Homo-oligomer: A and B are copies of this chain.
């Protein structure tokens, strides 16, 4: 059961909610754009379905609607940013812009952020670099749901990495993925359908293999990309660890098992060593390495070669990273964004609280 809304309807609703939270006009606009980019690109778990979650964090006074986002340490190519407990949806684009500005000056820019919150989809921030003919990189840590290889304890978040790379005539290359075998959103889909997971997605609270999509509720854990040691889960663990360290130990945010949870009802970890959650952003000017036109010519050739690869029987095409999401964006901008009835109900309740109607 799904209702379909236009982008404009959802954007107007979300922006009004952010304004009600006390965001200024510009920040409400930015937060809306970042949040809805997930719905447009087909990443339904990270879009408007999370709006209530952000409001709850604000109600719990874990979000500052008018943050003073500032550089606390810098060099010509790097900066550490204090997000001042702002919405990650606002802090992240500001920090990414600093990376882009530094890249304009000295070829590349690298920004580590503390004292922030959930920033929506990583891909949005990485893609900000594309307009300036730059490669964009975005990552964030998150509260611990993932057990490193051989661990029973959950010590890492799903810690996504996004990389956006400009092309010429082809659409840009945009990779954006959680460093686990499966993102939490995929698990939720199976939960709703009452289906088992493939092996290698989750483990029990004792660390045994499981295919129960509800294993996290039993104290189990998500598994790093790879799933188990035979399939190189240590590589997914390493990737998640690198994201954690770049995002939080460089900046002074919380890391590992101390990252604050997104759901406001989950108690905060004890003995937190830092401030808020952490992100990491990078921007590299293409023409800091070679003329942008040369790069784009070869990037197009790369994409065309991979696109035209002979496929395994039963599969239509080899997918270029970002291609399905770009197709979603065109389709949903034209035909609207479908929302599950449970999401609509949730948004209606939120609207009632603030006296805002989801669609006029």
A: number of interface residues (CB 8 Å):
85
- Asked if A182 and B232 make an inter-chain contact with CB atoms under 8 angstroms apart, the answer reads yes
Given contacts A76-B106, A78-B107, A289-B80, contact A241 B321 (CB under 8 A): yes
Name the distance in Å between A99's Cβ and chain B's nearest Cβ. Answer: 11
Oligomeric state, in number of copies? Answer: 2
Q: Is the interface of A mostly helix, strand, loop or mixed?
A: mixed
Residues A77 and B250 in contact in the complex (CB < 8 Å), given A318-B148, A319-B150: no
Is A302 part of the binding interface, using a Cβ–Cβ cutoff of 8 Å? Answer: yes
Determine whether the beta carbon of B256 is less than 8 Å from that of A311.
no
15 example contacts (A-B, Cβ-Cβ < 8 A) are as follows A75-B285, A76-B107, A135-B246, A148-B306, A150-B317, A152-B310, A163-B238, A177-B232, A198-B230, A206-B313, A231-B231, A238-B321, A250-B286, A250-B289, A252-B298
Having A77-B108, A107-B110, A177-B234, one finds 14 other A-B pairs with CB under 8 Å, namely A77-B77, A108-B110, A135-B246, A163-B242, A165-B242, A177-B238, A181-B226, A208-B312, A225-B235, A225-B236, A245-B302, A249-B302, A255-B298, A273-B301
Report which A residues bind B (CB closer than 8 A): 73-80, 106-108, 110, 112, 135, 148-153, 155, 163, 165, 173, 175, 177, 179, 181-182, 198, 200, 203, 206-208, 225-227, 230-232, 234-239, 241-242, 244-246, 249-252, 255-257, 273-274, 284-286, 288-290, 294-295, 298-299, 301-302, 305-306, 309-313, 315, 317-319, 321
